[in-house]
Amino acid sequence: MAIKLSLPSLLQNFLLVTTFVLLIENTDACLDRVDRTNIFPFETYDDHRKHDLDGAGDEEWGMVKRKGNQFVVGNQPFYVNGFNTYWLMILAVDQSTRGKVSEVLQQASSVGLTVCRTWAFNDGGWRALQKSPSVYDEEVFKALDFVVSEAKKYKIRLVLSLTNNWEGYGGKAQYVKWGKEAGLNLTSDDDFFSDPTVKGYYQAHIKTILTRVNTYTNITYKDDPTIFAWELMNEPRCLSDPSGNKLQAWIQEMAFYVKSIDPVHLLEIGTEGFYGLSTPDRQQVNPNTYAGQVGTDFIRNHQALGIDFASVHIYPDSWLSSATTESSLEFARTWMENHVDDSENLLGMPVVFGEFGVSTKNGKHNVTFRDAFIGMVYKTLLNSTRRGGSGGGSLLWQLFPEGTEYMDDGYAVVLTKSPTTASIISLQSRRLQIFNSRCDWKCHWSCRKRSIAMNDLVSHDEM
Ligand SMILES: *[C@@H]1O[C@H](CO)[C@@H](O)[C@H](O)[C@H]1NC(C)=O
Ligand SMILES: *[C@@H]1O[C@H](CO)[C@@H](O)[C@H](O)[C@H]1NC(C)=O
Ligand SMILES: *[C@@H]1O[C@H](CO)[C@@H](O)[C@H](O)[C@H]1NC(C)=O
Ligand SMILES: *[C@@H]1O[C@H](CO)[C@@H](O)[C@H](O)[C@H]1NC(C)=O
C-alpha cells in the first residue's frame, strides 16, 4: 500500500465525494425523520430481513471489497455497524450451549448489526482448536464451521481473528511455549514475531484456516463471502522492540503470506491504533506516553503491502485511568477523527473501529455513560460517512445473549436487558443502511431509483 494515491483512485475519490455531496441534502432529511422517532425499532429490522432470509436476497451475498477508502459489496457501499462476541466457536462445540451462538446472532440481526468479530483460534488449553502445532481437534473445527454457516443464516459477516497477543485462548505465549517444548532457545513471548520455526507454526495455522472446507456448507473459507476479513492478531504489541521494526517485519511477512493463499478477502492487522515513531507529531493523540512505546505504529503498520483497512480500538476507561466522563467522550471523538483523517489522507483506506466499549462492572461507569459513549462513537462515524470519509464502521465490544454472563469481562451488552442501548444500536444500523442502499458512482440511474424507494421505505416505517 503506497501512501500516494494513484490518479484513478484520486478521481474515484473525487467522484465519490461528489456523489455524497449531491446526496447529503436528501439524506439529512431522512436522518431527521429517523431522529424524531422513538418507536422501539426491533420490528422494522426483522420485517425487512424475513424476505432476505428466505433466500430472495441470496445473489446479493457478494464478497466485501475495498474501493479506495470505502467498503463495497457489488456496486453498493458497505458501512459497518457490527459487534464482537469472541467465544462463538467455543460455545458451539457443546450441543448444550450451541444455541447461544444462534441466539446472539439472531439478536444482533434484530438490531441491524451486519458484522461480527470472533476468534478463529484457540491455541492449546480447554477446547483447543489447535492442540499442538498443526494438530487440530476436528470437533472444535466443526464448531467453527457451524459459526460460519450460522452467521450467513442471519446475514452477518465475520471478521475472523487468527491469534492473540494476550494469553486468552493461547496466543503468542502458547506458540512460544510450543517452540520451547520443541527445543528452541526462546527467551520472550515476543520471539513469536521473529523466530523462524514459530513463525512457521503460525503460518501453518493461517493456511489451515483459510483452506478449510466448511463441513456444513462445503464452501472453502477462502471463497466464502460470509467472511468479511481476516485479522492477523488481536491487539499485537511487541514491547521487546519499541523501534517497531520487529512487529513491522512480522506484519509484512504475514500479510504477504495471507494474500498468497487468499488474495480475495480483506485483511487487517488487529492493532489498537497507537501512533508510533514514524509520526512523532501524532504521539500527543495517544492516550498516554506508554502507548507510543509498545512496538506498534499506526501509520507505518498499515502501509504494509496487503493490508486493506486500518484497525483501531477505543478504550477510554482502561487507557485513561483518571479521566472524567466528559474528557473520556472528548478523547473518543478526537481519537476517532485523527484516525479517520489519517486513514483518508495518509493511508487511502477505510478504518474500522474494531473494538469499543465500557465496563459497567468496575464501579467507574454505568449504563448511562455507556450509552453516551456508544452514541459518541456512532455520531463521529456518521460525520465521516456523510462526507464520504474513511470511517468504515465500528464493532461494539461486546454482545452477549442471556445466560452467558459467566464469560462477561464487564463489557457485555445483553440487548434484551438493555433497551436504551439496543435503540441506539438499531438507530445507527438504520442510518448506515440508508447510505448502504444508495448505489455508488457507477450506476447513478438505477441507484437513484433504488434510493428513492429506500427513502419511501424508511419514511413509511417511521410513520
Ligand atoms: C539462548 O539465547 C540467548 C539470547 O539469544 C543467549 O544469550 C543464550 O546463550 C542462548 N542459550 C543457549 C543454551 O543457546
Ligand atoms: C458436501 O459435499 C458432499 C460430498 O461431495 C455431499 O455429499 C454433501 O451433500 C455436500 N453438502 C452440502 C451441504 O452441500
Ligand atoms: C466532523 O469531522 C471533522 C474532521 O474529521 C471535524 O473537523 C468536524 O468538527 C466534525 N464535525 C462534527 C459535527 O463532529
Ligand atoms: C449514571 O451515573 C450518572 C452520574 O454519576 C447519573 O447521573 C445517572 O443517573 C446514572 N445512571 C444510572 C442508570 O444509574
The answer to whether the Cα torsion of 76, 77, 80, 81 is positive or negative is negative
List the 266-268 sheet strands across, edge first.
Answer: 266-268, 227-231, 157-161, 115-119, 80-84, 391-397, 351-356, 310-314
Are the C-beta atoms of 255 and 267 separated by less than 8 Å? yes
| pLDDT > 70? residue 262 | yes
Least Cα distance to 348 among 389, 290, 383 occurs for 389
Nearest protein Cα to ligand 4, atom 9: 368
Are the C-beta atoms of 301 and 233 separated by less than 8 Å? no
| pLDDT > 70? residue 56 | no
Quote the CA–CA distance of 34 and 23 in Å, as a whole number.
17
Quote the CA–CA distance of 187 and 176 in Å, as a whole number.
9
Least Cα distance to 333 among 366, 292, 297, 378 occurs for 378
The CA-based diameter of the chain, rounded to the nearest angstrom, is 69
31-58 mean pLDDT: 37
Quote the CA–CA distance of 431 and 31 in Å, as a whole number.
7
Positions marked active-site: 235, 355
List the 64-67 sheet strands across, edge first.
Answer: 64-67, 70-73, 76-77
Query: What 3-state class would DSSP assign to 309?
Result: coil
CATH class of the domain defined by 66-458 = alpha beta
Residue 88, C-beta contacts closer than 8 angstroms, at least 6 positions apart? 101, 104, 116, 118, 119, 147
Ligand nearest to the CA of 324: 4
Quote the CA–CA distance of 241 and 249 in Å, as a whole number.
12
pLDDT tens-digit series, residues 366-415: 999 999 999 999 999 999 999 999 999 999 999 999 999 999 999 999 99
More confident residue, 6 or 125: 125
Phi-psi group of 235: left, alpha or beta (phi > 0 → left; psi -120 to 50 → alpha; rest → beta): left
Read off the DSSP letter of residue 399: B
183-190 mean pLDDT: 98
pLDDT tens-digit series, residues 219-239: 999 999 999 999 999 999 999
Are the C-beta atoms of 40 and 423 separated by less than 8 Å? yes
Q: What is the dihedral of CA 256, 258, 262, 268, to 10 degrees?
A: -100
Nearest protein Cα to ligand 2, atom 9: 218
| pLDDT > 60? residue 39 | no
Q: What is the pLDDT of residue 290?
A: 96
Ligand 3: residue of 69, 383, 387, 390 to mutate (most ligand atoms within 8 A of CB) is 383
Measured from the Cα of 216, ligand 2's closest atom is 13
Q: What is the pLDDT of residue 439?
A: 61
pLDDT tens-digit series, residues 329-377: 999 999 999 999 999 999 999 999 999 999 999 888 999 999 999 999 9
Q: Is 420 in the pocket of ligand 4 (CB under 6 A)?
A: no
Nearest protein Cα to ligand 1, atom 6: 185
The answer to whether the Cα torsion of 190, 193, 195, 197 is positive or negative is positive
| pLDDT > 60? residue 28 | no
| pLDDT > 80? residue 21 | no
Quote the CA–CA distance of 448 and 414 in Å, as a whole number.
38
- Locus of grid cell 441491524: 112
Least Cα distance to 270 among 298, 305, 300 occurs for 298
Quote the CA–CA distance of 389 and 373 in Å, as a whole number.
21
- Distance (angstroms) between ligand 2 centre and the Cα of 141 equals 17
Q: What is the pLDDT of residue 60?
A: 77
Determine phi and psi for 423, rounding to 5 degrees: -65, -40
Least Cα distance to 387 among 22, 67, 81 occurs for 22
String of b and e for 102-122 (b: at least 16 CB within 10 Å)? Answer: bbbbebbbbbbbbbbbbbbbb
CA 322 to chain centre: 28
User: Average pLDDT, whole number, for the chain?
Assistant: 86
Amino acid at 433: Q
Nearest protein Cα to ligand 4, atom 11: 368
| pLDDT > 50? residue 27 | no
Nearest protein Cα to ligand 2, atom 8: 218
Ligand 4: residue of 364, 366, 367 to mutate (most ligand atoms within 8 A of CB) is 366
Are the C-beta atoms of 58 and 65 separated by less than 8 Å? no
Read off the DSSP letter of residue 55: I
437-448 mean pLDDT: 54
Q: Where residue 440 falls among pLDDT bands split at 50, 70, 90?
A: low
307-323 mean pLDDT: 94
Q: Where are the domains of the chain?
A: 66-458
Strands 130-132 and 135-136 turn out to be antiparallel
Are the C-beta atoms of 122 and 81 separated by less than 8 Å? no
Amino acid at 12: Q
Measured from the Cα of 218, ligand 2's closest atom is 1
Ligand 1: residue of 185, 240, 241 to mutate (most ligand atoms within 8 A of CB) is 185
| pLDDT > 60? residue 20 | no
Quote the CA–CA distance of 203 and 162 in Å, as a whole number.
10
- Distance (angstroms) between ligand 3 centre and the Cα of 327 equals 17
Q: Where residue 87 falls among pLDDT bands split at 50, 70, 90?
A: very high
119-130 mean pLDDT: 97
What is the secondary structure of 185-242 as a DSSP string?
---SGGGGGT-HHHHHHHHHHHHHHHTPBPTTT--BGGG-TTEEEEES-BS---TT-T
Question: 48-62, 186-200, 239-253, 315-329 — which is least confidently predicted?
Answer: 48-62
